[in-house]
Every structure is written in C-alpha cells, then in structure tokens.
A and B are shown apart, each in its own frame.
Chain A
Amino acid sequence: MKMNENMEMTENKQAVEPVILNRKDLKQVLTRYVLSRQICFNYETMQSGPWVWSMHPAMKKIYKDDDILAEKYKSYFKFFNCHPWFGQLILMSNLAVESTKNEDATETAMDVRTGLMGPLAGLGDAIVWVLLPTVLGAIAAYQAQAGSMVGWALAVAVNIALWMVFWKLAFPVYEKGVSFITSKSGSLRNLTSACSILGIMVVGAMVASTVNVNITYSWTVGNLTQKLGDLLNSIVPHFGNIVATAAIYWGLGRKKMSSSLMIWIIIAVSIILGALKICG
C-alpha cells in the first residue's frame, strides 16, 4: 500500500499511465445506468444523480483515490439532461476521456457531455420517443381493439431490438472514443431532419385515421334532411378531425396552456358538443 501511494505521488507529477476498462467494467456501468437512468430526477440538475452513481465503479478503477473522485464528481453532479438512451453513449465517451487520466480529462469530458447532450437529445426524441412509439403504438392499439395482441408483440419486439442496439453501441463508443460520435455529427443532424419528415407524414396520416370526430348535426328543409357532416366531408374527408386537431394545435400555442389543462378543455367541449348533438 505504501508503495502504491508513493507511486501515485510520483505519477501525479509525470505523465500518467492510462487505464483501459475491460468489457466487464463497462457492463457494470451500463447495467447501473439502464436501471437508474432518470431516478432522482430534479429540476436543478435533472439526470446527473444516476450518472455519477453509474460511473462510480469505473471511475474508482481508473483513479483509485477517493479525494480525486470527490473533486471530479463535483463537476459530474452538475446539470445533465439528454435522451436517456443516448445518455449512456455520452457516458461511455466520457469514460473514454477519463481513462486517459490526463490532467484536464474531466474538463474535456464535461465539454463533450455539454456539447453532445442537446443534439443527441433531439435525435433520440425524434426517433426513439416520437416516431416509433407513435407508429407502432397505433398498430398495437388497432389490433388490440380488434382483439389481438400481435400488434403489441411487434411493437415490443422493435422496442427491445432498438434497446439492444444502444446497449451494443456503448462498447465501440468507449473504444473509439468521442470521435466515434463527433465524426458522425453531420450525419446525425441529417438523420434527425429525415426522421422529422417521416414523423410529420405519420402525424398527417393519423389525423385522418386515428382521430375520430363525427359531425352529426342535421337540419330539415321541407321533407329533405341535410347532414352537415356529409356536406363537409364531401369537400374534405374527415373534416371534423382536421378542425379539432387545428383547434387544439392553436390552443396549445396560447400562454399558460398545458397538456393536462387541454385534456379538461377537450372533455368539456366534447360534452357540450355531444349534448347539443353537433358531434357523436
């Protein structure tokens, strides 16, 4: 032990030996991270708590000295918020930087972390949160209404497959370092754009297929009954859906509007429209 301490004293002065983490260490960090990605979420530092807890075993192996760790964790406890699946890739890239044991490793790692969390959050939200769950969720929902769980099984299969891809990606990110992500930053931006277009298309389709606002209002002139809904649908099909979605879209842009307040408004409006027999 004494020798170790002496070695570290001298090492601190000279160039230090990098510590390469093996797959087992990385798996330990990853396991901790996937189980805790957003626990202890708070509005000050958001996802930083589980980040530090997850990286600790690896950091302990790299630095060994508790005083150094406590100092470094002061930085890592600062604000972090990203799409949790990409969060683990950033975590791996930071461990790659820390493995070099450079004097300013933590500073570099924090720059990487802050620089990547915004763009990667955008990409993760677009693909992992918006696109796939919307499309697969709709398929699962329709099949379930018809009495089949096949659509749900498909959705979960895709979910697990993508989850595994992110798990596997973590290792090359550590081994090749930050360059693995940064060299692809242009492509990632393009991928986000392309996927948002797919998202917009799907939303357009769902306004027609999933929203269901029927206008049932009718009036009688002589012995001729006119149905307002049929009239409007002959101009544009699913007219009620378009009006409802547009109205909600507009409403969400108002100040002090939240999604939960909007639910109450929708219910109130629906009850009024239902009672007046305008919709049904």
Chain B
Amino acid sequence: MFNPIQVIILALFVAFLTWHKYNLQMFYYGIVVFCGFFTGLVMGDVGTGMLIGGTMCLMSLGLVGVGGSSVPEYQVGCVAGTAFAIGMGLTGQHAVTTAMTIGVPVAALGTQLDVLGKMSGSFFIHKAMACSDKKDWKGMGIWIWTSQIPFLGLWVLPMVLLMTVGSDYIQVLIKSFPAWLNSGLTVASGMLPALGFAILMRYLPLKKYGYFLLFGFVLAAYLNLSMLAIAMLGTVVCVFIFQMLEDNDRRAASAGTTAVGGDNEDE
C-alpha cells in the first residue's frame, strides 16, 4: 500500500511538524490544511488530500495547548488519515470518513504521546544543568537538543509502524466497518469542531463579555456573513473597545494625578 519512499517522506514530515509546532511556528496557521495537501501530493491525489485537510482543520480549530497543557494533535492525525484514505484508493465523502477513523484516534492518542514526551524532558534538563555546573557549555547544548530524539521518536516510530507492519490490518479493519459506524462518523465530523470552540469558551473571559457570543452568532446564523466579513467587523469592534479602554485609563490617570496633586509619572 505504501512504498518505502512514501513512508520515509511522511515520517520525516511528521518529525518536522512535531518540531515546528513547538519551536519555529512560522507556518502554524491552517497547517492541518497543508498536512492534507502535502500528504495528498506524496500519495498522488492532491484533491482528496485537500478535502481531508480542510475537514480535519475545522476539527482542530481552537485546540491550543495553553500554558504547557496537551491537546489532541490533528496535524499528525491528518497525515495518517490522508495517507490511508488515498492509499486505499478512496475519494470524496468516503475518503473523509475513512481518514477520520484513523486520524481522529491518532489525534486523540497524541495527547498522551505529548505528555510522555514532556515527561522525558526532565531527564535531559537535569543533564544540561549538570553540564552547566561543570561549565561544559557544549555538553549543555548537546543534552538540550538530544531531548528531541525521544520527543520526535514518540511520533515518528508509531507512524512508521502504522504504515509498514500495521497497514494490512488497518485496511482489513476499515473494510469490516458496518454502515452504521460510517454514518456515526459523519455525524462526528460535524460535531468535533464544537470541541475546539467549547475549549476556547472555557479559556476566554465569558463571564465578563459572554454576550458577544450572541453578536457573532447573529452575524453568521441570521445574516449569513462569511467568516472573513465577520472577522473584519470584529476587528472594528475590537479597535473601538481598545480605544475606549485606553481613554478610560487615561482619564482615570489624569483624575488620579489632579486629586493627589500633579504627581507626574512617565506618561
């Protein structure tokens, strides 16, 4: 199903993605779309790759590991799902549900891999600290970078196993899925994006500004505005509120200084 070159390219791609999402972060926005596109290119069906990438990208929105927390990893999930769906010669909605059957569990299990990887960091940071105490600067750098071997390996190894030893089993498994399971996964593909938004709602100051949810909802549900139009309107509101808050601060500051008696600060 996969030739060795495809396995090697995709394994390296997964290693790059895992490094990039934590460090360089230059191509982070909409990267799940690119994961589908690139895997499609490697597997020889760009159109299906983009379709899967787009669908999985919607599920990944809002899943952000804030403050060192671990969240489902749709980038690698999308690579694995797209590779199998195209490898099995599927297109259209059938390809999407098949990609989901593999990709979504990979993404969800990714949370555990991420935690394991971060736990392994403890060993390396202590080695690096010991080198620093001994003024061995080169050793310090080497130990810090060596931590990437288990961190990336935790992702690359399962990916390679999945695509070599495991591919036949997975194909048999998917083909044995009954119809009701596929219709359930179609429902799930519409419901999973809600997870990201629910997480964002937990993170954003909903108690204070929750009523703005209604504003956004009305724009989309009743006025049927596109996402770009809503983002532009939102920017207007955002700038207006920022100026208002700034004015309030300035007024409070000047009121404070006149009351105290002109205590000049740096503003």
Contacts and interface: CB of A to CB of B under 8 A. Distances in A.
Interface stretch (B3-11, B24-32, B83-91, B161-169): B24-32
A193 B242 CA distance: 8
Query: Main SS of the interface on chain B?
Result: helix
Contacts of B29: 132-133, 136-137, 140, 155-156, 158-159
Given A152-B33, A245-B198, A190 B68 contact: no
Contacts of A263: 72, 104, 107-108, 192, 195
A271 B58 CA distance: 20
B4 to A, nearest CB: 28
Contact of B186 (A140, A238, A280): A280
A67 to B, nearest CB: 7
Given A39-B147, A140-B30, A198 B191 contact: no
Contact of B121 (A40, A151, A199, A206): A40
A211 B61 contact: no
A159 B28 contact: yes
B188 interface: yes
A194 B111 contact: no
Contacts of B214: 204
B204 A244 contact: no
Interface in A139-166: 139-147, 149, 151-152, 155-156, 158-160, 163
Contact of B30 (A37, A136, A238): A136
A5 to B, nearest CB: 16
Interface in A190-225: 190-191, 193-214
B64 interface: yes
Contact of B239 (A152, A160, A194): A194
A36 B128 CA distance: 14
A237 B214 CA distance: 13
B61 A138 contact: yes
Contact of B194 (A70, A152, A244): A244
A203 B64 contact: no
Contacts of B180: 271, 274-275
A125 B66 contact: yes
B188 A270 contact: yes
A249 B203 CA distance: 11
A207 B195 contact: no
Given A149-B50, A203-B204, A53 B30 contact: no
A137 B195 CA distance: 15
Contacts of B263: none
A193 B204 contact: no
A144 B57 contact: yes
A275 B186 CA distance: 11
A15 interface: no
Interface in B124-182: 124-125, 128-129, 132-135, 137, 140-141, 143-145, 147-148, 151, 180-181
A213 B237 contact: no
Contacts of A130: 62, 64, 200, 203-204
A259 B71 contact: yes
B98 interface: no
A99 interface: no
B199 A260 contact: no
Contacts of A275: 180, 183-184
B259 interface: no
A42 B187 contact: no
B193 A211 contact: yes
Interface in B213-230: 213-217, 219-222, 225, 227-228, 230
B190 A214 contact: yes
Contact of B227 (A139, A198, A211): A139
Interface core residue of B30, B50, B53 (most chain A CB under 10 Å): B30
B68 A46 contact: yes
B14 to A, nearest CB: 17
Contact of A194 (B137, B186, B241): B241
Given A199-B200, A206-B193, A70 B108 contact: no
Tell which of B151, B228, B230 has the most Cβ of chain A within 10 Å: B230
A258 interface: yes
A100 interface: no
A273 B130 CA distance: 56
A158 B30 CA distance: 11
B42 interface: no
A210 B191 contact: no
Interface of B: 19, 22-30, 32-34, 36-37, 47, 50-51, 53-55, 57-58, 60-64, 66-68, 70-72, 104, 107-112, 117-122, 124-125, 128-129, 132-135, 137, 140-141, 143-145, 147-148, 151, 180-181, 183-206, 209-210, 212-217, 219-222, 225, 227-228, 230-231, 234-235, 237-239, 241-242, 245-246, 249, 266-267
11 contacts: A36-B23, A44-B125, A50-B144, A133-B64, A159-B29, A194-B238, A237-B222, A245-B201, A259-B111, A263-B108, A271-B184
